[in-house]
Amino acid sequence: MFTILRVLFLVKIGQEWLIRKSDLGRNTIRELAHNPNRYPTQKTMQKIFKVLRAFDPKIRADDFWDM
């Protein structure tokens, strides 16, 4: 299982870029990146994956959080 922070590192994009592209708050992205026990809402998850799937269309929520 990956964390958001690990994926951002692997695809060489930063948290600020994800914040701008996903239209999510800085605190939300930071908390998801650094706290493995934090689960996003369905709407937040959709926004994140809409952006990350531009890099890898096979990314799934199961890769990040226990579903």
**In contact, 45 and 4? CB cutoff 8 Å:** no
Segment 7-39, tens digit of pLDDT: 665 556 778 888 899 999 999 988 888 887 888
Closest Cα to residue 17, out of 46, 55, 43? 55
Name the pLDDT band for 41 (thresholds 50, 70, 90).
very high
The alpha-helical segments, DSSP class H, found in the chain are 4-10, 15-22, 26-34, 42-52
Domain CATH for 31 = 1.10.260
Domain count, the chain: 1
Whole domain around residue 52: which residue ranges? Answer: 4-63
pLDDT of residue 62: 76
Closest Cα to residue 31, out of 63, 3, 7, 9? 3
**In contact, 47 and 22? CB cutoff 8 Å:** yes
The model's pTM is 0.73
